[in-house]
Structure 1
Amino acid sequence: MKQKMAINVSMNGHKARSKALKIAVGLPGVESAALKGNDKNQIEVTGDGVDAAQLTMLLRKKMGFAELVSVAAVGGEKKEEKKEEPKVQPVVWSYTTTPYCVYDAPPACSIL
């Protein structure tokens, strides 16, 4: 299930923002990460199967302060329509054999 989460992180400069984004994108299942908020101190992460608590703990460990603000599901799941597969027609092979040479016509036969 796709989800979008917002995490407040204490970031004091461009280098810290870059480091926080690298940490966020490094987790498996993360599809995108963006900076949000007035001071660009909030990271918005979108992904499928991302553990929000694990991401927050990693950011706390590496950056100092991180607070999970919200986690929300993105859109509804699309219903997959079942399409009928085209029916395969069986191939019928004829088992008639044609002789390579006809014995009634000796001049045309190269085997004799």
Structure 2
Amino acid sequence: MKQKITIKMQLDCDKCRSKALKLASQEKGVSSLALEGDDRDILVVTGKVDAVCLVRILRKKFKCVNLVSVHELKENDDNKCNQHNNSDPSPNNCSIM
């Protein structure tokens, strides 16, 4: 089950931000990471990750870590995305003259 995990953290400097990204990227199942928000203090992790374990690891290094939300992402079937509408806008009508 692929998830989008949003974590609010107190990240004061660029060094703290890079540490947070590095710690989160080392977790098994992470497919993407992003820092969002005006102060770049919201960490968004996407993948098959245990949110509780991720927050626990981040709390060891950072004092203020809050789990904001966990959303399940729908995985699109490749067959549905690759189907095209093959209808011809001007069908060749056969009529007897």
Aligned equivalents of 1:29, 1:69: Cα separation in 2: 20
The alignment-based identity, stated in percent, is 44
Alpha-carbon RMSD across the aligned residues, in angstroms, is: 1.7
Which AA in structure 2 matches 1:74?
L
Match of 2:55 in 1: 56
Task: Report the secondary structure of 2:6's partner residue.
Answer: strand
Q: Which has the higher contact order (CA 8 A, sep 6+)?
A: 2
Task: Report the secondary structure of 2:24's partner residue.
Answer: helix
Runs of 4+ in 1 over 3 A off after TM superposition: none
The structure with the larger Rg is 1
Unaligned residue ranges in structure 1 (runs of 5+): 82-112
Unaligned residue ranges in structure 2 (runs of 5+): 81-97
Deviations 1:39-77 (A, max 9, x none): 1000000012x1001101111111111000000011245
TM-score normalised to the size of structure 1? 0.66
Contact 1:6 1:45 in 2 (8 A): yes
Aligned equivalents of 1:12, 1:36: Cα separation in 2: 14
